[in-house]
Structure 1
């Protein structure tokens, strides 16, 4: 009796298989499964890779006859196919195609713990092992406290499994594939039947194996705005979960002409152009009472978090500085720590002909001086009253405080004076008092910002160099080097 042959078990795909047959490698393009599963996690992408065949092999036949949509001109050279096709590059005459640009930044400098598994940190020079932050392991389904008084209303939720330590501490092919799979689940505009994409690497980590750390994806068509507006899409739970899984920031923008050609960039000063809060530096010079610096720093933190109304909080802090000599502003110049990347960024913007401004809730003497040092075109900040007899601060503020409403007004005034459309204005800040000017601008960028600002801003940058702002405009690292040389 002949033995019955057992059915062969399908082989689970390996990373080698995925990469070798991927549109991302061969054509910089991804075509999603026609019917995605209800679960949109990374498991779906991996398990369905064989069934859906993201990149199905095509038979190349010699071209004979007249080119047509059914028979596009194809050149076969050394086994490589060059096919002329325009639908993904430009729309047909008389039609428009909405495109969405996603810029993905890998947060290599941001330690993260998820399910007690630390995100990889690049090893310091001369070190044999990666630098890993300490972690306290929280067993599954365990409460963080034993007393009922401190027990949370809801049990602690598990974070998504960190995937960058599995597939690479960079924007890996699997990271891109997972993101495109996620985006393909959103409904398309009426009349659209296919979702396509292209991608290009903007920046490589030159110090560690040249892995991509900034990648720009163009998706077309964009998800239906009737189903989900761009503002809501940026805050979508699936996007947020993807960012935590892969340890990345995703900036979503409509692909328009203005995205690539900004004409005015407006900056906050404290914790944006510089790494400190000037008012905290001023308070630190007062030794009596000894807790003054801590009190001022606490008020500053709460105001930036949006817990306190900025104008009243600023007046309260200035009152605590009564009696300081006006010369303190000159003494602090040497202490100011300019944020990494600011000087080359402003040099690049100047070469591009972009106007710049600093709108600060700090003090005009330091803001004006810093603007002159950095070559910034406009500078606005608060003026404090100085006693002419003693030359010391009276604890009062002159004129309107440059808070969130005033920052927005100043942005609009500068744009109108320069004849610049708001779509070509970029606003960068970190605190709650920057939200209104960021909302008025065509692009609002949260720079290592407070949680509320991160959620509300159009884009987030959480790296170690403000020069990353140029990647949001679509520049490559080679172009950035040319602009900053």
Structure 2
């Protein structure tokens, strides 16, 4: 880094205010006033005429206090605009990392594969520094890329000051827009843990100006290798958004259902009720998994799975209501969104009878899913689907239709999902959020959340822990 990028102190560089160091015998304002003549105070006050001068900003210097009145970190001058970048850092408290090790290519992944190479013993027949070369058909000629060593255990298992410093130094390596010379920042702690020290779990950083779009677009920055490495090192998820007005005011939030609003896949629950053939549930689950990874086209995969369900009684949908497991945080999240006046929708690749029922239970405004054909004579599923499959293209169309019906700009739409069939829907929204999603979805989405409560979605809008408590109070 250049000299302008180096900093010996995070506090010195980024803390905007430091309280003065008072003499030990000063316990209050009265004693300060009484003893003022006896206290040696260096004071240098520049005249302030209402408009700070960039060449010679008004400055207050007292014992232990140094404060310059300037605007670069709060608002640009009249007639100018500075693009700001908001980075929300979520610490993965429920998914701690430990040191890495390369698994043996002959014995496969070891249960101890996360141990440090220095501690690895007979579970691997590869020296820590040697590339796997015993089977060139199964392994590349180049050595595998190891994951970066975790740093959160050294500097704090939370969003620590060193974590923030590391991120700011990382951002300083990207070129600034033409005419910009300094990178300024501010931060807010949005959520603290419940421990005695109350460590930050979610921190919002505002960086100004944003990296030059001529060098790196926001979409490219989200996928940058350095960002990914930072996340792995510090065990955090980084959500990057342009600091626009719409970021703070969503008007429509659209959810996938399976593995998003609920923790299960409904079609797998249906398959599990069939005992003949005995391997049906496993076959359906395998198709589901491959479709969510994007290895199979969702529409054809869904039709194939529904055919396997032929013969099930239509009453099965009522029976499954009791076993649906709503994702942690969904109910208070929807209560908060309703209080904010935000419309909600669920677009499911599952079955309309269950989707409509769940939407009614949760108070969701719009619900769309697939309709299966039921034989009126027998009251059983025929294995066919009525109308268009609610796959990736249809989900995007429905999102746009609902937004137009409600008179809402797509910039103020948020889409949340976990599978490859949600990507087009998430791409059409102003913000697409991958919730505990498959790897491809995590990479393609605008933001990703890998926590244990969907209520964390509100932090992406800038809401603090106190704000969320007020919004979710019953």
For 1:31, the equivalent position in structure 2 comes to: none
User: Does residue 1:382 correspond to 2:370, yes or no?
Assistant: yes
For 2:91, the equivalent position in structure 1 comes to: 106
> What pairs up with 1:138-157 in 2 under 5 angstroms?
139-143=127-131, 146-157=134-145
Task: Tell me the number of residue pairs that the alignment of Structure 1 and Structure 2 aligns.
Answer: 424
Distance 2:286 2:318 in 1: 25
For 1:325, the equivalent position in structure 2 comes to: 313
Distance 1:232 1:61 in 2: 48
- The answer as to whether partners of 2:374 and 2:382 remain within 8 angstroms in 1 is yes
> What pairs up with 1:442-453 in 2 under 5 angstroms?
442-453=430-441
For 2:27, the equivalent position in structure 1 comes to: none
1:86-111 deviation digits (Å, cap 9, x = unpaired): 22211111111110000011111114
Q: Which SS does the other structure have where 2:129 is aligned?
A: coil
Which stretches in structure 1 are left out of the alignment for 5+ residues? 1-16, 29-58, 118-131
User: Does residue 1:362 correspond to 2:350, yes or no?
Assistant: yes
> What pairs up with 1:47-62 in 2 under 5 angstroms?
61-62=43-44
For 1:313, the equivalent position in structure 2 comes to: 301
User: Does residue 1:85 correspond to 2:67, yes or no?
Assistant: no
- The answer as to whether partners of 1:251 and 1:458 remain within 8 angstroms in 2 is yes
User: Does residue 1:213 correspond to 2:201, yes or no?
Assistant: yes
Moved over 6 A (4+): none
Cα 1:483/1:141, change in 2 over 3 Å: same
Distance 2:450 2:42 in 1: 46
Q: Which SS does the other structure have where 1:245 is aligned?
A: helix
User: Does residue 1:344 correspond to 2:332, yes or no?
Assistant: yes
> What pairs up with 1:73-472 in 2 under 5 angstroms?
73-75=58-60, 79-116=64-101, 135=114, 137=120, 139-143=127-131, 146-207=134-195, 209-472=197-460
CA displacement at 1:195 relative to structure 2: 1.1
Cα 1:271/1:66, change in 2 over 3 Å: closer
- The answer as to whether partners of 1:111 and 1:133 remain within 8 angstroms in 2 is no
- The answer as to whether partners of 2:60 and 2:66 remain within 8 angstroms in 1 is yes
CA displacement at 1:206 relative to structure 2: 1.7
Cα 1:193/1:454, change in 2 over 3 Å: same
Q: Which SS does the other structure have where 2:44 is aligned?
A: coil
Distance 1:374 1:145 in 2: 55
Distance 1:229 1:134 in 2: 36
- The answer as to whether partners of 2:434 and 2:442 remain within 8 angstroms in 1 is yes
Cα 1:360/1:333, change in 2 over 3 Å: same
CA displacement at 1:382 relative to structure 2: 0.2
- The answer as to whether partners of 2:133 and 2:141 remain within 8 angstroms in 1 is no
For 1:127, the equivalent position in structure 2 comes to: none
CA RMSD, 1 decimal: 2.1
Distance 2:42 2:225 in 1: 42
Distance 1:413 1:157 in 2: 44
Distance 1:93 1:455 in 2: 38
Which region of structure 1 is more displaced relative to structure 2, 284-293 or 63-72? 63-72
- The answer as to whether partners of 1:276 and 1:336 remain within 8 angstroms in 2 is yes
CA displacement at 1:264 relative to structure 2: 0.2
CA displacement at 1:142 relative to structure 2: 3.5
Q: Using structure 2 for the length normalisation, give the TM-score.
A: 0.85
CA displacement at 1:114 relative to structure 2: 3.8
CA displacement at 1:144 relative to structure 2: 5.3
- The answer as to whether partners of 1:74 and 1:81 remain within 8 angstroms in 2 is yes
2:45 to 63, 86, 108: 63
Q: Which SS does the other structure have where 1:252 is aligned?
A: strand
- The answer as to whether partners of 2:17 and 2:67 remain within 8 angstroms in 1 is no
- The answer as to whether partners of 1:268 and 1:360 remain within 8 angstroms in 2 is yes
Cα 1:290/1:22, change in 2 over 3 Å: farther
CA displacement at 1:26 relative to structure 2: 5.2
User: Does residue 1:23 correspond to 2:13, yes or no?
Assistant: yes
CA displacement at 1:472 relative to structure 2: 0.4
